[in-house]
């Protein structure tokens, strides 16, 4: 998976909606893409039209999450933020909003709700050991 970051990398855009996130995922997978190519990735599974994708792309451009480049009569869209930066920001927002800024209660909640598999727990333990050293 390619994580592109163009101009403005490191800057955090306005909050991205769930629908906009689906468009971003398509662009993070492969870019630049035309609106039609984005639609080929996301429209079928979501029941969206090309007009919906164009609206979402326009919103992402306004939020400076996506950049455009003219290509004849169409535009090519490229993410302006790296996926890893977005994930980091959203993770921090989740922990801050729901768990008072502390990660431990998040893991406790996931463990209690059986959302963590044995493999997840093993990976988390390995990560914590790595962070301690």
**Same domain for 62 and 39?**
yes
**Same domain for 85 and 128?**
no
Question: How many independent structural domains does the chain possess?
Answer: 2
Whole-Å CA distances, 57 to 52, 71, 80, 109, 125 = 9, 16, 12, 35, 39
- Report the run of H or E that residue 42 belongs to, with start and end: helix 35-46
**Same domain for 46 and 19?**
yes
**Same domain for 51 and 107?**
no
**Same domain for 43 and 79?**
yes
**Same domain for 109 and 92?**
no
Sort strands 66-71 and 74-79 into parallel, antiparallel or unpaired.
Answer: antiparallel
Profile the chain (133 residues) by mean pLDDT over runs of 10 residues. Answer: 41 78 97 97 96 97 96 96 91 88 85 84 86 83
Q: Give the per-residue pLDDT at 35.
A: 98
Q: Give the per-residue pLDDT at 13.
A: 54
What's the domain range around 70?
A: 1-101
């Amino acid at each position: 998976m390619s994580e592109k970051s163009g101009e403005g990398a490191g800057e955090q855009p306005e909050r991205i909606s769930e629908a906009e996130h689906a468009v971003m995922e398509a662009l993070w997978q492969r870019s630049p893409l035309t609106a039609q190519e984005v639609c080929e990735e996301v429209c079928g599974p979501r029941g969206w039209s090309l007009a919906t994708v164009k609206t979402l792309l326009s919103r992402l451009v306004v939020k400076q999450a996506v950049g455009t480049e003219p290509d004849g009569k169409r535009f090519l869209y490229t993410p302006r933020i790296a996926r890893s930066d977005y994930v980091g920001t959203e993770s921090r927002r989740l922990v801050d909003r729901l768990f008072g800024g502390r990660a431990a209660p998040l893991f406790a909640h996931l463990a209690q709700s059986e959302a963590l598999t044995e493999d997840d727990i093993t990976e988390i333990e390995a990560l914590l050991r790595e962070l301690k050293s």
